[in-house]
Amino acid sequence: MDITNSTSPAVPSAEKAPLSLALIVASDREGRFAPVITDWLRTRLAEREDFAVTVVDLAEIDLPTSLSRDPSPAVSAELAKVSPALAAADAFVVLTPEYNHSFPASLKNLIDWHFTEWQAKPVGFVSYGGLSGGLRAVEQLRQIFAELHAVTVRDTVSFHSAWGLFDDEGRHKDPAGAEGAVKVLLDQLAWWALALKEAKSTRPYAA
């Protein structure tokens, strides 16, 4: 898991510290396309001063699919790689492909190993795939995060037939539309993150 906060400003604003954002890279498939979109997204995030970013890459996490209320030392060690980052986050961006009209099992596994870490926090989605651009995966994720008391933001970023949109250097060939969409997504995410953070500072969330 990459926990460097290279996208955050060196000196926080005197008025507000940046919001903690966990960027969850859902794909763990060999030969995945996720690093290309992750790099594109991190570049966009680096242009903002309102988020300090931690990347949670599920290709680097090995959680068993069998859940336990009393995990073994080995499982606890894997959870220690990711749970603190989720707990500390004020907001999440989930970067997911679409596999067979849904999202990767690695993402569902991460979600199910946690509960309070998601509560009363906003979740934004960046998806990619073929003709659907991963939107079917996103719609299913909205239902799951609602069950966990998270708030999913309305607007998304989706890359349709993503493999043809980027050049060999990982640059988007026609970036205007995607850059506009990610600005809207991050603006909404920041609004919700700040609103929910301030609300929780006044009274604890009643789950």
- Residue boundaries of the structural domains of the chain: 19-202
User: What rounded mean pLDDT belongs to the chain?
Assistant: 92
Amino acid 169: pLDDT: 86
CA 178 to chain CA centroid, Å, is 17
Q: For residue 2, is pLDDT > 60?
A: no
CATH class given for the domain over 19-202: alpha beta
pTM of the model: 0.90
d(CA 197, CA 90): 7
| Residue 7 confidence (pLDDT) above 80 | no
Dihedral sign from CA coordinates of 141, 106, 19, 126: negative
For residue 12, pLDDT beyond 80: no
Q: How far apart are CA 26 and CA 34, in angstroms?
A: 8
Q: What is the pLDDT of residue 1?
A: 57
- Residue 8, pLDDT > 80, answer no
Strands (E), 88-156: 91-97, 122-129, 151-152
Q: How far apart are CA 168 and CA 185, in angstroms?
A: 26
Q: What does the pLDDT look like over 26-78, one tens digit per residue?
A: 999 999 999 999 999 999 999 999 999 999 999 999 999 999 999 999 999 99
